[in-house]
């Protein structure tokens, strides 16, 4: 969990920007400890916990799988809440990212990933499963959106 938290804090710090002067780090010892970076750290930690719970659902049976399924449901809500918080905070706090996200053509491309009509759909029966309609263009469009946003 500590490694996942550290990954999220590093991600949050990179999104915020790193103070560099003359090619060397110019920030203080605890410049990384900002609310945004800590939010990212907790979000990644919950994401890894969700990954572990869903792995247990897939690989085990009986009470272990049932307990993991219950945990995965609550962890999914937590991860979605962290994703929403970070997704709202990022453009509000960092103008350079807001300009990149909401400028054309990035804005028209980036919305396809979560709202694609061919994205996975959850079906609830006696076991949770993900069903997806195969679409070769959907992964390409998501990668294109990501690459364009990074550029």
Instruction: Render pLDDT for 13-28 as a digit per residue (tens, 0 to 9).
Output: 999 988 889 989 888 8
Rounded Cα distance, 75 and 50, in Å:
5
Instruction: Render pLDDT for 119-134 as a digit per residue (tens, 0 to 9).
Output: 444 444 444 444 444 4
Residue 112 scores a pLDDT above 60: no
69 in the same domain as 35: yes
Boundary residue ending a domain (94, 116, 135): 94
118 in the same domain as 79: no
**Is 35:20 a contact under the CB 8 Å cutoff?**
no
72 in the same domain as 25: yes
Boundary residue ending a domain (94, 112, 135): 94
Backbone angles phi, psi at 128, to 5 degrees: -75, 135
Beta strands in the chain (DSSP E): 20-21, 24-25, 121-124, 128-131
Q: What domain range includes position 64?
A: 1-94
13 in the same domain as 55: yes
Count of domains forming the chain: 2
Read off the pTM. Answer: 0.71
143 in the same domain as 109: yes
SS3 content of the chain, % helix, strand, coil (to 5): 65, 10, 25
147 in the same domain as 90: no
147 in the same domain as 80: no
């Amino acid at each position: 969990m500590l490694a996942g938290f550290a990954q999220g804090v590093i991600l949050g710090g990179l999104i915020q920007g790193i103070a560099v002067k003359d090619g060397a780090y110019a920030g203080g010892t605890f410049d990384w400890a900002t609310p945004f970076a800590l939010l990212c750290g907790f979000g990644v930690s919950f994401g890894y916990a969700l990954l572990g719970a869903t792995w247990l659902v897939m690989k085990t049976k009986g009470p272990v799988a049932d307990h993991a399924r219950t945990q995965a449901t609550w962890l999914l809500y937590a991860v979605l809440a962290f994703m929403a918080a970070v997704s709202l905070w990022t453009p509000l706090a960092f103008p350079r990212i807001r300009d990149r996200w909401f400028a054309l053509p990035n804005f028209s491309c980036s919305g396809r990933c979560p709202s694609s009509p061919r994205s996975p759909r959850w079906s609830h029966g006696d076991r949770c499963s993900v069903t997806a309609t195969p679409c070769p263009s959907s992964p390409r469009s998501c990668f294109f959106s990501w690459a364009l946003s990074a550029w």
